[in-house]
Amino acid sequence: MILGGIAAAICWIAWRRHNRLLDEQAEDFDSESTSSGFDYQKAREQADRMEDSLRQYEQCN
């Protein structure tokens, strides 16, 4: 009976840890999904830099 209680306690601790890890993963996923949208401003700035670099390269050659 004592071994059964010990096994039950171990299972309960493992179950709580598992649920906590699932909650942490869900929070990480939510924070990534809201901040990972396409940023048009950043893309436009990067395209402008690339065009500027291409113009400078063409002027040098």
H/E element holding 51? helix 40-60
21-30, 34-43, 51-60: range with lowest mean pLDDT: 34-43
Mean pLDDT of 1-26: 88
Q: What is the spatial distance between Cα 28 and Cα 46, in angstroms, rounded to a whole number?
A: 28
Range of the domain at 53: 2-60
Specify the pLDDT at position 35: 56
Residue-averaged pLDDT of the chain: 83
Q: What is the CA radius of gyration of the chain?
A: 27
Specify the pLDDT at position 30: 64
pTM of the model: 0.45
Question: What are the backbone dihedrals phi and psi of residue 59, each rounded to the nearest 5 degrees, phi first?
Answer: -70, -35
SS3 call for 36: coil
Domain count, the chain: 1
